[in-house]
């Protein structure tokens, strides 16, 4: 599993909520890093085959780390920075963008 390397030990702790679970992390971390450090690997279910997926590239390219952040679907967890109180849910299938 992943181990956190504290690059900035002085950074304040923030708490996000993933699928109802409170996860403590540090300010400045990406959502993907915070979830991986907390042992969460299942970020989304694919739209067509409903298969489990998690982060792959961690640099904004692969779109495999999609989650819903504060109600907004299809956010790339690797490109979003944590904020205290942020609510993160798995992206289950395609986003409900339509009418």
Partner 1 sequence: MKADAIVIGGGMVGAALAYGLRRQGLDTLMLDEGDVAFRAARGNFGLVWVQSKGFDCPEYAAWTRRSADLWPDFSDEIEELTGTGLQHQRPGGLHVCLSGAEFEDRTRQMRDLSERSGGAFRYEMLERRALDNLVPGLGPDVVGGSYSPLDGHANPLYLLRGLHAGFRALGGRVRLDARVTAIRRTGATYRLETGTGKLEAPKLVIAAGLGTKPLAAMLGMTAPIDPVRGQILVTERARPFLGMPLTWVRQTGEGSIMIGESREEVGFDDGTRWQVQARIADRARRIFPFLERARIVRTWGALRPYTPDGLPIYDRPPDGADAVVASCHSGVTLAAVHAGVLAPAIAEGRLPDDVGGLGTGRFHVH
> What's the Cα-to-Cα distance from 23 to each of 35, 36, 63, 73, rounded to whole Å?
8, 11, 23, 20
Tell me how far, at minimum, the Cβ of 61 lies from partner 1, in Å: 11
Residues 28-67 that bind partner 1 (CB under 8 A): 47-48, 63
- When the beta carbons of 58 and 95 are compared against partner 1, the nearer one is 95
Handedness of CA 1, 84, 16, 44 (dihedral sign): negative
Tell me how far, at minimum, the Cβ of 4 lies from partner 1, in Å: 30
- When the beta carbons of 9 and 99 are compared against partner 1, the nearer one is 99
95 binds partner 1 (CB under 8 A): yes
């Amino acid at each position: 599993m992943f181990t956190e390397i504290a690059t900035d030990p002085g950074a304040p702790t923030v708490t996000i909520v993933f699928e109802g679970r409170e996860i403590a992390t540090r300010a400045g971390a990406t959502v993907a890093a915070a979830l991986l450090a907390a042992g969460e690997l299942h970020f989304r279910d694919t739209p067509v085959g409903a298969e489990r997926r998690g982060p792959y590239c961690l640099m904004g390219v692969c779109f495999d780390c999609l989650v819903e952040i504060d109600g907004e679907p299809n956010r790339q967890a690797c490109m979003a920075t944590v904020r205290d109180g942020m609510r993160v849910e798995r992206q289950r299938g395609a986003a409900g963008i339509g009418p």
